[in-house]
Each structure stands twice: as C-alpha cells, then as structure tokens.
Amino acid sequence: MTSLFEYAPAPESRSIVDIRPSYGLFVDGEFVDGTGTPLKTVNPATEEVLSEVATGSEEDVDRAVRAARRAFVKTWGPMRPADRGKYLFRIARLLQERAREFAVLETLDNGKPIRESRDVDVPLAAAHFFYHAGWADKLEHAGLGPAPCPLGVAGQVIPWNFPLLMLAWKVAPALATGNTVVLKPAETTPLTALLFAEICQQADLPPGVVNIVTGAGETGRAVISHPDVDKVAFTGSTEVGRSIARAVAGTEKRLTLELGGKAANIVFDDAPIDQAVEGIVRGIFFNQGHVCCAGSRLLVQESVHDEVVASLQRRIGTLRVGDPMDKNTDLGAINSAEQLARIRELTAFGETEGATCWQPDGDLPDRGFWFKPTVFTDVSPAHRIARDEVFGPVLSVMTFRTPDEAVAKANNTTYGLSAGIWSEKGSRILKVTDQLRAGVVWANTFNEFDPTSPFGGYKQSGYGREGGRQGLAAYLRSDS
C-alpha cells in the first residue's frame, strides 16, 4: 500500500544509556563475578554484541539464596510493613525518573519498538511498584485470611518478551508482602534487570532483599530446585512450565505459572469494523507478537469475513517494520535467531497444510532478525498455526456462523490465557464472556493491562494470578 506521506527518520538517542562492557551477578547488594561461562547479549535489530554478562552456577545461586534468606530473617521480614512500602514507592519513583534510560536499554536488548518500551513497558513497571507499595501495610485488609505472613525466599524466572515489566510483575508483590527475591532474567535480555539492580542500590534497598542471577536454563533450574526457596514464580513456555511443576511436586514450595496462550479474538457481525481492526492489529502485532496473550486466532462471523480481512490487510500495509529505535516504527526485530527459526518453521507448516499466506509488500533490513506481519486465511482448527503458539507476528483467521460456534472454536485449544470479543451488544459480550475458558477477556479492546487487575490462565496456560489483590495471595500464608 502506498503511504499518503513519507515519515522522516526519528531515532531515539543511544547516548542516554551507558552499557558496560561486562556485567556480574547482583548478590547481597553488590555486583559480583559469576563462576559460569559468560554469555554475550546482542541487539536483535543489528546482531551487534551489547555486553558480556556473567552466568550464575549452582554455587552462585546458593550464595544468592543464602543472602536472600539472611535478609528475610534479619531485615526485610521484621521490618514494619509501612517502611517496606516506602522502599517500593522509592523504587517506583526512580523508575519514572530514569524511564528514558530504561526504555532505550529495553529496546536495544529486546528489539521492540522504542515507542512501546517508552509508552507501555516502563510506565507499567513503575505502576506495579506504586500499586504494590500501597498494599504493603494493608495486607490484613486484603481478604486473604487473618494475619497474612510472607513465605520467605521467592525464586523467580522471567522471559525475554517483556523483561522489565515481567520483573515488576514478580518483584513488586514479593517485596510488598515481605518476601525476598532471587530473580533469573532471560539469557537474551538481561540488561534492564541489571539496570534495575542499580535502582535497588540507588534506593538503598537493604542488601540481599533483591538478588539477580543471570544465565541460561541451567541457572534457572538451580534457582527453582534450590531447597531453601519457598516460592517459585515462572513466566515462559508451557514446556518449561511442565518441567518446573514436576520439579516442585512433592516439595513444600508454592508455585505460580504463567505460560503460553493461543487467544481467540472474536469479531461479531455487529462489531465496529474499523475499531475492531485496530484491536486485531494491537492484539497480534504488539511487541512483534511476542505476547503470551496475543490474539493470534481471529474468529470472524462469516457475513463480515471479507470486509474484515480486506480492511485488516489495508491497515497492515501501513505498518512500519524496521529500526526499533525509530519512534515511527510499529514492528521491531524478532528477539533472537532461535525464535525467528521457530516462526519460520510454523508458518511453513501453515502453507504446507493448505492455508493461504498473505504478507504486505516491502523489504526487511539486511542485518538482524526480522519477520513481516503475516495473515493466514482458509485456516482450519486442525492446522498447526491454529493450535501451536507461534509467538510471532502471525495471525490465523477462521470463520463462525453462530455465537455457540464461536465459543466452541475459541475454547478448542489446550490454552486458556486470554480472549477478545468485538460486538456492540453488551448482553452478547457478557454471555459469551461467561462461556469462554480464559483467564482474561477483553471487550472491544485488546492487550489492556493494569496492575490492579489479576492476570493468569487456565489449562496449559498455567495457574495462579499476578496483579491485583489476588496476586498477593501467592506470596502469603496465614499463621492462624
């Protein structure tokens, strides 16, 4: 599609952030050397090596857990809840003050557009700390049982799609409820977590309250399986979630899992089409589709299918794919070569199985990891692209005739994380929502998040909730 006007480049400056040549682990309030083989973290848009990051061994993890236990017993646990809240408020304010620095670093390390890092990820991360800071001295009034008490040491493993935001989702409720933390960020996106360690120092957070141990899968397994970890929280793939559930089974560890998804975005014939198309685009192409609750299955009522698909293709033709540091960019880079290979593999299955693939015209950058926004039509519920989580900018379109058929097709998945409904009839929205087996259902919008609202799934999308009053429960026990 020909643009009505040309965009001039509007690049964000890299000079706002100072990336160190190498980083250690953050243990007991200090940066220390790791004993594992260091990893290189790269900019997925250019394949440029950004820094060398330490890898935590079992010995390093043990050191971090011991520091967290010591802080829990001597400092953080006995501290007045109101004082704990003050630290969280301080962290939230520092995140706001250094928001531009965090946004630039997130985009460089992750590949997402700077506009999303700046306007979504960083503000929401700060909002989670503000929200949970307010709960710190009000837990007895949260309706979570009498005399709620912290569990102890929380071992947390987060993914690469929202590195800073997932850190906030995990760390903020753990600290607000009086627990201490050992966090393992994703191996491809560790830099904002390490910058957050500097925030902890700047806030004068007591040593050992937050510990950050970088590394790959072995480091994460060491955190989860450590015998002195009381609570495990994981966000990531369903496959890894299953292995964690097996590892924790039979122990006294509490566990929450936020895993994959294959969300249905349902468009009825009375939906406002232009508004729905914007929601569809946001639902699947936000963060390059690297979203576990992405609306990757589009269910359109048969009578408006052609109109919706034509309007959707016109809108996709206006999306700008390219330099994530450009403020005009809509889709950035795929996070890694490994993820790009998986997206290509699954889209190849889509064409082999008979679905029709459509992509907009235009060239992709020569260097980096890139994939065009993609729409599959003529999709059957049996196709792999309709069943498997692609975790990329790939949309599968199917049709339905009746609301009952829409519900049946939406629930025909092993996942149950989220869904969307587009209709002008409030009664229809409420009735269909009640029938959907999904943890979050959006009505006439998609991918809207708020720290006051619980988030989580059913079936193979995991269990437990994060955010809201319900998210506090996972980090508390009752002594009575």
Phi, psi of 44 (to 5 degrees): -70, -15
Residue 364, number of CB atoms within 10 A of its CB: 13
> Residue written as tokens 């937050």?
210
Q: Which of 399, 179, 420, 215 is nearest to 306 (CA)?
A: 399
What does the block give as tokens for 174?
A: 């753990």
Return the C-alpha torsion angle 103, 109, 112, 114, nearest 10: 30
Q: Residue 35 and residue 49: Cα distance in Å, rounded?
A: 21
From 12, 116, 187, 292, active-site residue = 292
Helix-strand-coil percent breakdown of the chain, rounded to 5?
40, 20, 40
Would residue 149 show up in a list of annotated catalytic residues for this protein? no
**Strand duo 231-235 + 153-157: pairing:** parallel
**Residues making up the chain, counted from first to last:** 480
Would residue 200 show up in a list of annotated catalytic residues for this protein? no
**Strand duo 356-358 + 374-377: pairing:** antiparallel
Q: Which of 320-353 are b and which e, b meaning 16 or more Cβ less than 10 Å from the residue's Cβ?
A: ebbbbbbeebbbbbbbbeebbebbeebbeebeeb
Residue 15, number of CB atoms within 10 A of its CB: 7
Q: Residue 305 and residue 309: Cα distance in Å, rounded?
A: 6
Task: Assess contact for 299 and 406: CB atoms under 8 A.
Answer: yes
From 258, 293, 389, 466, active-site residue = 258
Task: Assess contact for 265 and 422: CB atoms under 8 A.
Answer: yes
Residues 43, 448, 441, CA angle at the centre, nearest 5°?
A: 120
Phi, psi of 137 (to 5 degrees): -105, 20
Catalytic residues: 258, 292
